Amino acid sequence: MNRLDNVTPLPGRSPAQISFTRLELDRILSLYGRMVAAGHWSDYAIELGPRIASFSAFRRTAENPEVRIVKDPVLRNKQGEWLLFGEGGVVLKRGHDLAGVLAPVERRLVKLVEA
């Protein structure tokens, strides 16, 4: 038996980790798949941490992410737990609803397909 197979958390502490629900991840990956099919994105990364969960989409693997979708539950009662960051790290959209936050990317997808 490997020593790493038997990991026990410290008493009284649970490893807190923010994650996407299945429906949220389905929505995000659906958009990602359509952007890949349009030839705009080619790679992604998911980061799950104790404070935020983040999905980053890349045009090319070696670049900075073109968009970053962040879930920050601490902001749920303030500006909304969803944030959309652009390439330069600028907040493009924030809100309480994932669909509303993804709307600018969805509109860009429509323009890519029509062109």
**Residue 23's pLDDT is what?**
94
Question: Are 70 and 81 spatial neighbours (Cβ–Cβ below 8 Å)?
Answer: no
DSSP secondary structure code for residue 90 in this structure = -
- Region 35-53: what's the mean pLDDT? 91
Q: What is the pLDDT of residue 76?
A: 86
Which residues fall within 8 angstroms of residue 94, CB to CB, at 6 or more apart?
75, 79, 80, 82, 83, 84, 101
Write out pLDDT tens, residues 48-82: 998 999 999 998 877 889 999 999 988 888 888 99
- So where are the chain's domains? 18-114
- Pull the structure tokens for residue 107: 């509109």
Section 9-14 average pLDDT = 58
Task: Note the pLDDT of residue 69.
Answer: 96
Mean pLDDT of the chain: 84
